[in-house]
Amino acid sequence: MKVEKMVKKGLVVLAAVVLSTSSAYAANVETMGIGAMNTAQAGAVSAYCDNVFAAYYNPAGLSLIEKPTISAGAMYYNAKIEVSDWNVVSQGSNATLDGAPSDYESDTMDIVSPSLGFAMPVTDSLTLGVAAYTPYGLHVTWDKDPAKSPSSAYAWESYYGRVAVSPTLSYKMSDKFSVGVGVSLGRSISEAGKTMEISDDLKDPANSNQVKHMLEVSGKPAGLADVQKYIALANVLDGAQLKMESTDDFNYSFNVGLMYRPIEQLSMGLSYRGRSDGDFEGDVMISGAMGGTQDLDGSVTMEYDHPEQVQAGVRWMPNRKFSVEADVTWTRWSINENQDEHAVINVPEALRPLVGGQETIETTFEHDRDWEDTTAYKLGISYQATEAFVFRAGYTYDPSPVPDETFEFGWPDTDRNVYTLGMGWRINERWNIDAVVQHVISTSKRSTTGGSTELNKNYTAAYGAPAQVYCENEGILWGAGMTLTYTF
C-alpha cells in the first residue's frame, strides 16, 4: 500500500506539471537540456544517467535508481538574435522595406521550461519511471513593423514545440547490462505570425504578366486563374498582420535504451528516440486587412513531423570522484522536405465582390525545408569534491540542420557552441538540489549572400521584382536552472 500511494502521489504531481508545460519551450530548434544535473554535463549522459530523466536520455539508466525518487525543476532562458548588414538587391522598390535599418535584433525572449519525473524500483531487476519534459522547441519573435524589423515581412513570430509524458520501464538483465523502453505521449503546438508586405505593382491587374513571373520564380502555379487569385488576395491582405495557431493534440513515439558496464570504471550507452507524426489543425486570424479596416478569420492545417534521434556515449570513471563522458547525437532532420500551411480564409459578404464572389479563399504558405541530418558532439565531466558537493561542466558543438538555400527568419538557426557549468548539493539523505548555468552562442555569424531561395521568393513579393537578400545573423542565449530531488 505504501508503494501504491507513492506512485499515485507522483502521478498526480506529474499531471499538474504537464498542464503548465504547454506554454514552455526552449529557444532553439532542439532542447537545451532536461534536468539540471544532465544539462550541466551538456546532455552527455547516455552512458550513465542515474536520475528520473533517464526516461528521455537513456531509459536503461532507470535501473541505476535504488529507491523511489521524484524530481522537479525548471530552466529559464533569455535569448535574442542579432541581424547585421541587412540589404536586398532588387529591381523593384518598396519604401517601407527600403527604409528599414541595416542592423536590428529580435525581441528579447524569456522562456521557462519545467520538467518533472518519478521513478521507483518494482523488483530487484525492474524499475518503473515516468517523466514530463519538452523534447523540442523554438520561440522567436520580432518587431511587427517591417520598417523597424525587415524580418517581420517573413515572420514576426515562430513558435513550435512538443510537450511529452513518457512512462518507462527499465530491466536489469545482469549487474553489467540493462535495457529500457518507454512510450513518449505528446502534444505539439505551432504558431506563426507575419506582416503581409506586398508590392503595389503586384496588386495592379494591369501587371498580370509581372505577377505571373513572380509566381513562376516562387515555384507556384501561374495560370490565369492563379494570377487573378493572387492579385485579389494581395489587395485584401497587404499590410495586414496574419497569425496562425495550430495544435496536434496527441502524438506518440518510443524511447529505447541499452547500458553496458563491462567494468566498474567504464560504462557505455545507446539510446533511440523515435519519430512522431504531427497533424496540426487550428485557426487563422488576420487583423488590419483592406488597409486596416477589416479583420478576418479562417482555419489552417499542417503536417509536420518530429525527428528521430540516436545518442551514444562512453563514460570513464578513473576514481570515485571524477568522471568524463563523450556522446554523439544524430538527428534525422531530413524527414520534412517542406512545411506547408494550408489556410482557408473566410471572406465577409461585403468583400466577396473583390474576390469573384468567393465565400472563402484557400491559400498555402509553402516553405522549402530540405534540412540536413546532423551529428552533435557532447562532452561532460563531473567531480565529487566532498560527500555533499559535486561540480559539473559540459560542452556541445551542435551544427545547424538548416542549409543556406532554405535559411529564413522563422527558423534563424546557426551552428552553435553550448557551454555549461553546474553543481549539486546533497542536503541530507532525502533532499538534493542541482543547479546549472548555460550559455549558447553561434560559432560564427551566419552569412546570407543572396543564396536563400526561401528568403528571395518571399521578398520578391514584397519588392515586386526578383530580389536577393543579404544579411548576417547571430544567436545568443543565457540559461539557468534548478532541480530539486526527493528520495523516499
Summarize the confidence of residues 151-168 as an average pLDDT. 91
Mean per-residue pLDDT over the chain, rounded: 87
- Helices 208-217 and 453-463 meet at what angle, rounded to 10? 170
| pLDDT above 70 for 224 | yes
Most confident of 17-31, 39-53, 282-296, 365-379: 39-53
| pLDDT above 50 for 10 | no
pLDDT-wise least confident of 13-27, 87-101, 113-127: 13-27
| pLDDT above 80 for 41 | yes
Condensed to tens digits (0 to 9), the pLDDT of residues 367-425 reads 888 899 999 999 999 999 999 999 999 999 999 999 999 999 888 889 999 999 999 99
All three cell numbers of 355: 474576390
Condensed to tens digits (0 to 9), the pLDDT of residues 417-465 reads 999 999 999 999 999 999 999 999 999 999 999 899 889 888 888 887 7
| pLDDT above 80 for 355 | no
| pLDDT above 70 for 201 | yes
Rounded to the nearest 10°, the torsion over CA 31, 256, 422, 390 is 170
| pLDDT above 60 for 328 | yes
Q: What is the pTM of this model?
A: 0.87
Summarize the confidence of residues 127-131 as an average pLDDT. 96
Per-residue pLDDT band for 112 (boundaries 50, 70, 90) equals confident
Per-residue pLDDT band for 96 (boundaries 50, 70, 90) equals low
Instruction: Give the pLDDT score at 29.
Output: 56
The share of the chain scoring above pLDDT 70, in percent, equals 92
Interacting residues of 145 by C-beta distance below 8 A, sequence separation 6+: 152, 195
Instruction: Give the pLDDT score at 371.
Output: 92
Instruction: Give the pLDDT score at 480.
Output: 95
CATH 3.40.50.1000 fits 2-197+239-426+441-487, yes or no: no
Alpha-carbon span 303 to 45, nearest angstrom: 32
Alpha-carbon span 46 to 256, nearest angstrom: 11
Per-residue pLDDT band for 172 (boundaries 50, 70, 90) equals very high
All three cell numbers of 123: 523488483
Q: Which residues pair with 433 in a beta bridge?
A: 425, 484
Instruction: Give the pLDDT score at 1.
Output: 42
Q: Where are the domains of the chain?
A: 2-197+239-426+441-487
Instruction: Give the pLDDT score at 338.
Output: 87
Per-residue pLDDT band for 253 (boundaries 50, 70, 90) equals very high
**Residue that has been written with the C-alpha cell 576514481 in this structure:** 319
